[in-house]
Each structure stands twice: as C-alpha cells, then as structure tokens.
Structure 1
Amino acid sequence: MSIEPNIIGGKPISHSVACELRRFTCGSNVASFGVDWKKTGFHFYSMQSPYQFGLHIHRDCTRGLLMCVQAYLIKKIIFKYSSREEILRRDVLHPSEHLREEALVHAISEMIWQAGQGVKACVCLLQDLLSFEIPPDYRKDGFTEKLTLFEFSTFDELRGFIKIHKDQDSGWVCGSGSHDYEINALLNPSILEDSGETELRLLNASEECSQTLLNLLLTGKAVQYIFNGTQLYDDEGERLLVGSMLKTPKRPIWVTITNRVNYGLLFSTNPDLVSDWRVEHRFFLHYYTGLVSQKKDVTLTIDTRFGRRISRKGKREADKIPAMEHLILSKWSGAEVDWNGTPPFM
C-alpha cells in the first residue's frame, strides 16, 4: 500500500474525517458518490451560443449544484457593475471568454468562502495515491481516501488557489466531476463541526441535492429548512412557506425548482428590482435552464399593475397555469405573466 507524501502546503485527509465526510454527504461512511457526481464538470456553452454566460446543466443528480453555481456566476457577471445604465451599456449577458472564466473562479471561491462563514476555508485536491492506511472496515471509493486538504484564512488566497489549479488542470472545469466542489464546500470546519444538526445528509436517497445541500450552496448554512428563523408546524401540519429572505435576496436572482425535479434560474439585469417597489410594476425576467433543449433566450414580462385576467372557466383554466407561473405568483401575487411568444415550459 502506497501513501503519497503531502502535496506542498497541504495535508492528507485523515481516516476519521474521510468517514465523517461520507456520512455527512451520503448518509453512511460506507456509501459513496454515484457516477453522475464523478463525471460531471463545469462546462460553458460556446461563445457562439445564445448563452455565453451559461453552464451546461444535465438532467442528472448534479443539476441542483450546477444551477446554484450558475446563480453565483450570473451574480458576478451582471452585478460587478453598480448601476443599471452601466449594466445595459456593457451587454453583460454576452461576456468575453476571459470574463466568464474569471467569474466562474470568483463564484466558486465565494460559495466556498461563504460556507466557512467568511473566516476560513478548506479546499481539497485529488491525488493519485492514498492519504491514509486503509483499515479493514473502510470501503474505498477511489476518491475520499485520496484527498489532500488546503486551508485558507483570506478570500484572496482562496481565489488565487482556485484560479491556479483551474488554469493548470483544464479537467477541473471540464470533466473532473462536480463532487469536487461539493466536497470543498462542506469540508469547512463550520459545516462539519458547528452545523447544529445531527442527522444532516447532503444527498438524498436518489443521490440528488437535498434541501440541506441547496441551502449550504446558496447561503453557506447547512440547514434543512427554507423559512426565516425558527418555526413550528401548527396542529394541522400545514406546509411551511418559503421565507422572505429567500424570496427577496440582495440581488434579483432566484434558483427555481418546479415539480421537484426541474431546476431553473430566474434573474433580472435591473438591480433595483429587489430594492424599489416601483420597479415591480412592470419588469422583465430571464429564465435559464441550462438544458440543450432550451434553444433561445426566454424573457418573461411580469406586470403587477392591473392584476391577473380572470378567466370565465375558473378552476379548470387555473389548473392549466404552468408551474413556473405558479412559482412567480407566489412572489408577485396576481401578476400577469407574458412568455412573449415562447410556449410555456418548466
């Protein structure tokens, strides 16, 4: 059995941390990542596509993670500029190849740093040989036992490290597996030690992102719920509503899930949408799924001024409202949603 010496600046993962990592991710220290997590990487669409800002999103277990990264990527591409006028002048949805690569590095770094509560971060790199002697009761997965850990105390150090290893290894972006990022996010000590939850699991029984993992990726907090603060179910056990802090983020970007499996991204290029109620009278939202089936840009017009047109067909017509519109109406009640010629989809 060969144990590889420390990569300069890093230390091999220990047996105990490797077991805890697998338990926290997959629910058991003998469980491991599925094929989807090991084959999927971060791939941009070509510069000739309508989505120069966009990552390929696959219909597999990794789609939730990729869409969360896409949200932070959009945040960096659009809102690095402070005013709406400058955003429009820069044509931000058509970034250069250099700009979008820089935005990806920043997005991943920001999400990892956020998971460390803005104090410290831990990043892993996969090495060829084992990091510890394998005991008889440990089931190898070809990944967890080969990690080397690197700790950072400043954001700039973290971002520099991510950039260097991205540039040196193109496979990091194209094909090394998005589970690398998931592991990096939850390796931060505040996640493993101070989550405050005893039965957290980041992947569900179908190996897809749990609500806990989605919250970790979007907010840096590994919690199971989506409401504000602490709430209790009432006697009827009614479903708790999404909290206002998720519905009204600092930037007009929303990760959406319809029918439990269809991920998307709604976003506006107008930063005032979440800070000036007058802008909410009539505005535009871009809708992005990242799927190859979405051939062109989808822009929705949301009008809250006159209320939604009431159909004489009543409930039968209401049942035909697309799931995405129902989601939009949960934020802007009574709004009229115009798909601008695009057949409504998820």
Structure 2
Amino acid sequence: MSGRGAEHPAPTELEEITSRISDLSKWREIFNFRGLEINSTTHQGLQQLLFRNTTSLFGWEWAAANFSFHPAHSNLAYALQAGKGGTRAILAAVQAHIITYLLFTRDTERTHLERLCRVGRREQGQALATALAETLWAAGGGDRAVVCLVTAPVTATPPEGFRASSFTEKIRLFEFSEKAAAQEFISDHINCFEGEGNHGVILFLFSLLFSRTLERVQEDLGDTAPLLNASSGNVTCTEAVLSLLLTGRASPRGLGGHREPGAGRGEAAGPGQRGPVGFLRWERAPGQRQVRGTQGQRDTRTAGLAVPLQCPPAQVSPALRSPRVPVWLCSLSGRHGVLFGTDCRLLSDWKSERLFQLYFCSGQQERTRTAHLTVDTHSHHWEEAPREGPCSPGQRRPALEMAIRTRWAGATVSWNGTDPFF
C-alpha cells in the first residue's frame, strides 16, 4: 500500500504533460508566432514614431519600470507602485483598468474598498493580465492583440539608456485573434511584465504599438506629433499615448471633446463613446506658481498643490468625463493618478450624485492608504465670499478637487482628515 501511495504523483504529472501536448494544436490556431526580424529602416521608423528623431534614448527609469503591486492583503493590495518620471502615466492608466476589473468586471458579491484590500497575489496577477489584455485588444480595434516578450537574455542597460532599436532586436511578437487567448497567454507570462529587469513597461508600450500597427499609429499621429517627449534627459508620455491607452487610438487630440476623422467600424471606443475608464484633467494656468499653505488652514491653500478655483480647465470629451463605471485616469499638472468610486450607479442615477464617496490612488510609495474624499454637489460655500475674484489666492484648491469640478461643477470636496497631496 505504501509503495502505491508513493507512486501516485507520477500519473498526475504524466496527465498534465499529455494535456499540454494536446493543447498545442489549439495554441497553433489561436496565435501566430513569428520572430521579430526588423531591418534598419523599420528600426528607425519605430524610433521616429516614439521620438521623431533617431537620437533620443529611453532613460534608466524607463528601463527599470515594471508593473509591481504593493504587498498582497494590505491597504494598497490592489495598487501598482508608481514608477518614476514619464512611466507613471502608463502605470496609472493600467491601474485604472485594474480597478475597473476588480470592482466591476469580475464576479463579486458587492463592491467596496475593503474588498480591494483583500486582494491576494493570484488575484493581482489575474487583474494585471486582464487590464493589459483589455487595453491591447482595444488598440487592435477589437479584433487582434499583439504581445511583445523578450525571448533572449537582456544585458544590463547602459547608464545613459538605450534606443528603441537596440531593444526590439531581442523581442518576439505573439499575435492573437481572440481576446481570451491573449489574456491567458499574458497570465502565463505575467512575470515578463512584473519582474525586475524585464523592462515590463516598455514591453507593454511596444505591444500597444504593434497591436494598433505602426502604420495606423503613424496615421493617428499625423506628420509631426511624437508619442514621447524627450527633454533634458526626461522622457514623458504625450497625450497621444494616453489616448491610445484609453480609446485605442494614438491621436494627439483623441481626449478632446470632438470626434476624430476616420473613427468608424472596427475602431475602439472613441471620444464620443463611453468607455470603461474615464479621463479628468486639470492644468495650472501658464506662469502660475504653486502656493504653499500651512497645515490646519481652512480649505484655502493646501500642501503646495493649490490652484485657482474657477480658472478655465482644459477641454475633455464629455464621454470620457462620464465613463460606464466611476473610474477615471487623472492628469493633474503633468502628474497622474486614479480617481474611482465603488457605487456602480453613480453615473447612471442622478440621485446618487448629490452626496457620494470617491477614492484616489496615486501609487506613491509614501502613501500607505487610499485617499477617501466626500463630494457634495449641493453645497455652495463658495458663494459666501462673492467679492473675491475666481483666481484670487483665497479661492485656491488642490488640483484634484479642480479636476473633480470639471465633472461636477461647483462641488465641494472633503478629504476626511487627510492633508491634500495632489
């Protein structure tokens, strides 16, 4: 009896091997594997799409960036750790899709913040794979997705960085015609995007471009606009990258309040259609400096992040301000985070918009909890001081509050005891 018990695992392993072999034919049909062999002309074309020159480099911050979660079963278990520099925009956009999945897509008995804090390591991987697959599928127009993986050892990145061409020599493309297959494939290779030293954020950016196709990205951009801005050694995402992440098109004007020409059949949700993730933006007026306040002041100046209360905001598409579920990528004077609510009725039932709760995730390492905000759309305290001009110092508010007011004009925002930090 003991001898038979000791041999029991062998058939299980054999069955698993047999199952994997039988799946090979399915995988051959699902995706098309081809080695990426790019000639020098295509290398330069990719570099031109990214930077509009052949000399700019990805810095070490980009090379080191990956999709790394905060510890499982913690206050920020659902949250990606924010990268440095220009990678934060991509990480925040993926974070928005992760929150959408965890709160509103997967099967759950109810949605609340505490459930996000109970996310385990396996759920983190599932959420990331789903978010990446959804974004790539949208970039592919709803009928394809391309996943870029490194299949050769990657040498250490030089301190000064590397060009796009030097990285593409080491990747391979996996093309899928089914979203579920792409998601399963990403899940099986999730460490390629999470692991240190794998250049996960750059891999994902390249996957977006190849899913959209380089030709269509070029059409989206037009003749002059780059995907990335390189200045003084810093590489940052343009609005075209944000548009690609949120609408599936790399249009420099794709987040505005107008319809893009040529957006039709086979395209992802554009600015005139409500998507799963929204977008809110607030920029300080040119030449405006930040005002540093003192702790304990009454909602007037806060944490060096204050901006005029009623100065005109940059235009964002109404559909992006009102997505299908209450999750928004926020661009706040060049910094990025995710604003979200847990009530799926918030944007479909006007009664829910009188007094409601929102949460803000910045991904910053120093933040150990999700910021909790209470939004009141029927309190008009600003009318108490009508003589003050709309841009006077006494009417300043944090940039996040101003972004919220681009969706709910005139709303008051309480940080519930937290010092405003965005």
Which residue of structure 2 lines up, in the alignment, with residue 304 of structure 1?
377
Give the equivalent residue in structure 2 for 1:36: 61
**What are the Cα deviations for residues 1-21 of structure 1, in whole angstroms up to 9, with x where unaligned?**
xxxxxxx93222322433222
Percent identity over the alignment is: 28
Which whole-Å deviations, capped at 9, do the CAs of 1:133-179 have from their partners, x for residues lacking one? xxxxxx8853122222221111122112212222xxx3531221211
How large is the RMSD of aligned CA atoms in angstroms? 2.6
- Paired residue secondary structure (1:300): strand
Aligned match of 1:276:
349
Aligned counterpart, 1:162: 186
Aligned-pair distance for 1:311? 4.3
CA change 1:142–1:273 in 2 (3 A) is: same
What corresponds to 1:187 in structure 2?
A: 210
How far the C-alpha of 1:314 sits from its partner, in A, is 2.7
Moved more, 8-17 or 285-294: 8-17
Alignment match, 1:235: none
Mark the CA change 1:129 to 1:259 in structure 2 (over 3 Å): closer, same or farther. Answer: closer
Cα separation, 1, equivalents of 2:403 and 2:209: 29
Residue 331 of structure 1: aligned partner: 407
Change (3 A) 1:263 1:140: closer
The one-letter code of the counterpart of 1:255 is L
- After superposing the two structures, state which structure 1 stretch, 28-37 or 263-272, moved more: 28-37
1:220 is displaced (CA, Å) by 0.8
CA distance in 1, matches of 2:366, 2:47: 34
Name the counterpart of 2:256: 227
Counterparts in 2 of 1:18-33, with a 5 A limit?
A: 18-33=43-58
Given that 1:115 and 1:221 are in contact with CA atoms closer than 8 Å, whether structure 2 keeps it comes out as yes
Distance 1:160 1:13, change over 3 A: farther
8 Å CA contact 2:61, 2:84 repeated in 1 = no
Distance 2:321 2:184 in 1: 32
Indicate if the aligned counterparts of 1:115 and 1:185 stay in contact, CA closer than 8 A: yes
Q: 1:258 to 1:67 in 2, by over 3 A?
A: same
- What do residues 37-90 of structure 1 show as CA deviations (whole Å, max 9, x unaligned)? 11111111012531010000023221000000100011111112578x622498
Q: Distance in 1 between matches of 2:204 and 2:369?
A: 29
Distance 1:245 1:34, change over 3 A: same
Change (3 A) 1:27 1:334: same
Give the 5 Å matches for 1:115-154. 115-128=139-152, 141-154=165-178
**TM-score, normalisation: structure 2:** 0.70
Which amino acid counterpart does residue 213 of structure 1 have in structure 2?
Answer: V
Letter in 2 for 1:104: L
Q: 1:31 to 1:146 in 2, by over 3 A?
A: farther
Equivalent position SS for 2:173 = strand
- Of 61-70 and 31-40, deviating more is 31-40
Asked whether the 8 Å contact 2:256–2:315 carries over to 1, the reply is: yes
Distance in 2 (alpha carbons) for counterparts of 1:250 and 1:24: 31
| Rg comparison, structure with higher value | 2
- Evaluate the alpha carbon distance shift between residue 263 and residue 96 of structure 1 in structure 2; reply closer, same or farther with a 3 A threshold: same
Task: Report runs of 4+ in structure 1 exceeding 6 Å deviation.
Answer: none
Structure 2: runs of 5 or more not aligned: 1-31, 155-162, 261-311
The one of the two structures with greater contact order (alpha-carbon pairs below 8 A, sep at least 6) is 1
Whole-angstrom CA distance in 1 between matches of 2:332 and 2:242: 15
The match for 1:173 is: 194
Q: Structure 1: state its 5+ residue gaps.
A: 1-7, 131-138, 232-237
Provide TM-score, normalisation by structure 1.
Answer: 0.84
AA aligned opposite 2:176: F
* Letter aligned with residue 179 of structure 1: I
- Residues 309, 296 of structure 1: alpha-carbon distance in 2 compared, 3 angstrom cutoff: same
Out of 240, 247, 250, which is 1:212 matched to? 240
Report the counterpart of residue 72 of structure 2 in structure 1: 47
Comparing 115-124 and 27-36, the one that deviates more: 27-36
Tell me if structure 2 keeps the 8 A contact 1:40–1:62: yes
For residues 249 and 143 of structure 1, the distance between their equivalents in structure 2, rounded to whole angstroms, comes to 36
**Among 308, 313, 317, the residue aligned to 1:243:** 317
Q: Return the alpha-carbon distance in structure 2 between the equivalents of residues 345 and 54 of structure 1.
A: 17
* SS of equivalent to 2:138: helix
Say how many residue pairs are matched: 320
**Partners of 1:172 and 1:288 in 2: CA distance:** 21
- 1:318: how far off? 4.4
AA matched with 2:95: Q
